[in-house]
């Protein structure tokens, strides 16, 4: 249970705590935040020894608000291009720092790469059953894990080490699993009430994305379990060291809070990320409102626009549709997500004849037929609508002209528009049935919320279909 502040329309924060128990929760939040600041040796003077101190602008504050969770607000006006945070490398959680901390417990490993040696680790460390596992792991075994697997394993272990973990102040400010309750992966792993039904209600494209997240998670669980079994742990012990819900929570914290950062020892781009205390309180908005810079003195965030006192500060996590945001982060933008798209692949594929399928596969245009909220139909969609008009597409000069960019495709437009109109009318009809979920009255609060976001996804899809239909009507 966490206390919330409610932002009114002007973004002014109103604390709703009235009774004493709620005030206790508020003061716990404040003291955990202070611990975090103390731990990262915060200074509000950006000139003082930047290589070891974190800088947190004195013009910002963290609040826990409804619908957003912990969020960063300006406490006074902030200009464009002002530095907001600088977190030094030793306080960033990524595969470099984790390997440095883990190998501290294994005296036979000598790290030589300078990227590890500049990381601060406490001289005194407490030994326990978790550090005994660290001590048994070789550097090769650690380097074989993806950053994702390594960080999820480490967070799961370290959070069970309580105050003996160097990172405790950071763990204490991570969200609860309940805060991530809208994520389909979380419903599925925790077997939430009606999860199978909820899963079946998801739009196809969202369901497909949620399946991919599930497969990634299951794969990571398998890899980490296998690693621990090679260290001599029985399967019962593995479940004690890595309780499923705690691992899920750690995995979701990594997934929803990782920021791109190139790391010297990473095997591929997926490993290039870090978690950054305090910076990770920034919520997402479509427009890029902050900019990131990474160098030897750490991870730095500056503003790209002005803020008035009381504004919430945002960072764009990337060009993400609501499907992506829900599956990966556990939230949706209720309106104006310019990256939303409508996937009509499942309606188009059954219309294709074998020769058309072969042609599309040959040309790498098979599947992923979408319309975007802003830019309308994608080129892939335009191509497939043209291919549907060709009996022997491989022999069509006009089709090849369209694909090579030598022809504008006008010759196909009339029939493409007629077919697209029928498809979009079907989408609108289907969405009309499902959008009502946004206003469901399920008696279980969490199920109600989950259904509400599914309803929003259908509303998003209908909006794109209707906008495109209006454009088509103007053309006829």
CA distance linking residue 103 with residue 109, whole number of Å = 6
Closest CA to 113 of 146, 139, 135: 139
Residue 122: CB atoms within 10 Å: 9
Instruction: For the CB of residue 253, give the shortest distance to ligand SAM in the complex, in Å.
Output: 9
At 73, list the tokens: 């607000």
At 139, list the tokens: 């550097």
At 278, list the tokens: 């305090």
Residue nearest to ligand SAM (CB): 69
- In the chain, % helix, strand, coil (3-state, to 5) comes to 50, 15, 35
Instruction: For the CB of residue 23, give the shortest distance to ligand SAM in the complex, in Å.
Output: 20
Range 343-346 contact pairs with CB under 8 angstroms and sequence separation of 24 or more: 343/203, 343/204, 343/205, 343/368, 343/369, 343/370, 344/369, 344/370, 344/371, 344/381, 344/423, 344/424, 344/427, 345/205, 345/369, 345/370, 346/204
Packed helices 322-329 and 244-257: angle between N→C axes, nearest 10 degrees: 140
CA distance linking residue 102 with residue 104, whole number of Å = 5
Among residues 281 and 369, whose Cβ is nearest to ligand SAM?
A: 281
Among residues 144 and 287, whose Cβ is nearest to ligand SAM?
A: 287
At 203, list the tokens: 């739009």
Among residues 137 and 248, whose Cβ is nearest to ligand SAM?
A: 248
Instruction: For the CB of residue 326, give the shortest distance to ligand SAM in the complex, in Å.
Output: 10
CA distance linking residue 298 with residue 172, whole number of Å = 22
- Binding-site ranges for ligand SAM (CB under 6 A): 67-71, 175, 179, 256-257, 280-281, 283-284, 329-331, 333
Instruction: For the CB of residue 364, give the shortest distance to ligand SAM in the complex, in Å.
Output: 34
Instruction: For the CB of residue 369, give the shortest distance to ligand SAM in the complex, in Å.
Output: 28
Instruction: For the CB of residue 75, give the shortest distance to ligand SAM in the complex, in Å.
Output: 18
CA distance linking residue 255 with residue 209, whole number of Å = 14
Among residues 239 and 452, whose Cβ is nearest to ligand SAM?
A: 452
Among residues 99 and 325, whose Cβ is nearest to ligand SAM?
A: 325
Instruction: For the CB of residue 450, give the shortest distance to ligand SAM in the complex, in Å.
Output: 14
DSSP at 76: S
Instruction: For the CB of residue 156, give the shortest distance to ligand SAM in the complex, in Å.
Output: 18
Among residues 70 and 104, whose Cβ is nearest to ligand SAM?
A: 70
Tell me how many degrees the CA angle 206-459-65 measures, rounded to the nearest 5.
Answer: 85
Q: What is the chain's alpha carbon radius of gyration, rounded to the nearest angstrom?
A: 25
CA distance linking residue 155 with residue 124, whole number of Å = 20
Among residues 99 and 333, whose Cβ is nearest to ligand SAM?
A: 333
Instruction: For the CB of residue 179, give the shortest distance to ligand SAM in the complex, in Å.
Output: 6
Instruction: For the CB of residue 175, give the shortest distance to ligand SAM in the complex, in Å.
Output: 5
Q: Identify the burial level of 345 via C-beta atoms within 10 angstroms of its C-beta, where 0-12 means exposed, 13-18 middle and 19 or more buried.
A: middle
Among residues 256 and 447, whose Cβ is nearest to ligand SAM?
A: 256
């Amino acid at each position: 249970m966490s206390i919330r502040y409610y932002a009114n329309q002007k973004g002014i924060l109103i604390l709703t705590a009235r009774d004493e128990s709620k005030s206790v929760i508020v003061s716990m939040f404040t003291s955990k935040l202070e611990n975090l600041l103390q731990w990262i040796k915060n200074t509000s003077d950006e000139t003082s020894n930047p290589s070891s101190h974190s800088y947190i602008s004195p013009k910002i504050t963290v609040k826990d608000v409804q619908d957003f969770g912990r969020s960063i607000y300006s406490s006074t006006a902030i200009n464009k291009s002002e530095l907001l945070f600088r977190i030094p490398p030793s306080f960033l959680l990524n595969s470099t720092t984790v390997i440095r901390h883990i190998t501290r417990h294994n005296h036979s490993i000598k790290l030589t790469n300078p990227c590890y040696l500049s990381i601060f680790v406490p001289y005194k460390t407490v030994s326990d059953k978790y550090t005994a596992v660290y001590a048994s792991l070789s550097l090769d075994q650690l380097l074989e894990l993806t950053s994702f697997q390594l960080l999820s394993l480490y967070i799961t272990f370290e959070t069970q080490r309580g105050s003996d973990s160097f990172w405790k102040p950071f763990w204490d400010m991570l969200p609860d699993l309940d805060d991530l309750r809208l994520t389909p992966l979380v419903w599925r792993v925790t077997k939430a009430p009606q999860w199978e039904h909820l899963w079946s209600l998801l739009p196809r494209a969202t369901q497909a994305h949620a399946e991919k997240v599930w497969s990634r998670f299951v794969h990571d669980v398998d890899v980490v379990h296998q690693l621990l079994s090679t260290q001599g742990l029985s399967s019962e012990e593995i479940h004690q060291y890595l309780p499923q819900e705690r691992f899920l929570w750690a995995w979701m914290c990594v997934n929803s809070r990782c920021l791109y950062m190139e790391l010297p020892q990473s095997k591929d781009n997926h490993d290039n990320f870090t978690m950054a205390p305090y910076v990770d309180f920034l919520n997402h908005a479509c427009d890029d409102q902050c900019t990131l810079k990474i160098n030897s003195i750490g991870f730095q965030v500056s503003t790209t626009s002005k803020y008035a006192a009381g504004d919430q500060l945002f960072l764009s996590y990337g060009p993400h549709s609501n499907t992506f945001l829900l599956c990966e982060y556990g939230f949706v933008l209720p309106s104006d997500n310019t990256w939303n798209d409508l996937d009509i692949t499942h309606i188009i594929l059954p219309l294709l004849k074998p020769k058309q399928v072969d042609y599309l596969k040959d040309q790498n245009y098979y599947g992923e037929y979408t319309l975007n909220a802003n830019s309308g139909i994608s080129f892939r969609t335009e191509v497939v609508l043209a291919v549907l008009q060709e009996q022997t597409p491989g022999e069509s000069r006009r089709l090849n002209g369209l694909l090579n960019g030598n022809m504008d495709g006008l010759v196909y437009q009339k029939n493409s528009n007629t077919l697209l109109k029928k498809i979009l009318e079907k989408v609108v009809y289907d969405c009309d049935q499902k959008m009502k979920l946004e206003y469901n009255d399920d008696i279980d609060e969490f199920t109600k919320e989950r259904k509400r976001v599914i309803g929003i996804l259908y509303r998003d899809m209908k909006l794109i279909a209707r906008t495109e239909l209006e454009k088509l009507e103007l053309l006829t």
